[in-house]
Amino acid sequence: MTTLSLAAKAPLIDYASLVASAFVNTGTDNQITLDFQDVKELEKDITVSVSKDEKVVASNIDNVLNFFAEEYPQVIIGKEEAQEWIKFAKDELTVKDFKKLSVSLEKLESHLNFRSFIVGFKFSLSDIAVWGVLRANPLMGSVIKNSVYINVTRWYQFLESDKRFGAVVELMTKSIAEIRKLAKQQSTGGKKEGHKA
């Protein structure tokens, strides 16, 4: 059994790994179990990890994404080309300084001048890595809303409309809300009866 564990209180939630697992779950016979934990980190400096039969086989974004690409190359394509984009995403798109982020978004904007996907003509690991990191960046909400970068916005929203991207992130958000509600009920001694929809 393969499990993806994610720290939901991490400063940047690793949506890319979550999206990658959705590609596996919808495109192969394999099922990756999702394990959301309401913590800042799973272990010291680790916010995401994959375990196989209870043994951790990969941790943190690049290792986890590369693990998925190696194990499921039929659905997570373009591992080799994705390395520079994973690095770009990690180094340049996690920043919370708007000026710095703008410089990197300009690069992505011009890369997407004549491209619908980051690499080639279908979803690949590069799209997953870059979208996942941007989705976690709190600055992106207003960037997308205001279409500051026309190509980035088109590409970002196109990916979001695919259930392996947008819906999976929503699923995580809902699951976390549920976990927090349960925790709150327990801490208040279960006096308040939670209502189930």
Partner 1 sequence: MSDLEQPLQKLRIDVSAFPKLSAEEAALASQWTTLALRLPENLAKLNEFLKTRTYIVGNSPSEADVDVFSQTESMLRSWSSIEDLSRYRHIIRWADLVQHTLLEPKTPFTVNYSAEVPREIKAKPE
Helix, strand, coil: what percent of the chain each, to 5? 50, 10, 35
74 or 113: CB nearest partner 1:
113
Kindly tell me which residue out of 150, 167, 182, 183 binds partner 1, with binding defined by CB under 8 A. Answer: 150
137 or 153: CB nearest partner 1:
153
Query: In the block, which residue shows the tokens 């080799």?
Result: 80
Q: From the CB of 151, what's the least distance to partner 1, in Å?
A: 8
- Contact residues for 169 (Cβ-Cβ < 8 A; gap 6+): 15, 18, 19, 135
Q: From the CB of 46, what's the least distance to partner 1, in Å?
A: 35
Number of H helices, E strands in the chain: 8, 4
| 115 contacts partner 1 (rule: CB under 8 A) | yes
- Rg, Å, the chain Cα set: 17
What whole-number distance in Å separates Cα of residue 3 and Cα of residue 42? 13
| 107 contacts partner 1 (rule: CB under 8 A) | no
| 110 contacts partner 1 (rule: CB under 8 A) | yes
Q: Which residues bind partner 1 (CB under 8 A)?
A: 106, 109-110, 112-116, 121-122, 146-148, 150-151, 153-155, 157-158, 161-162
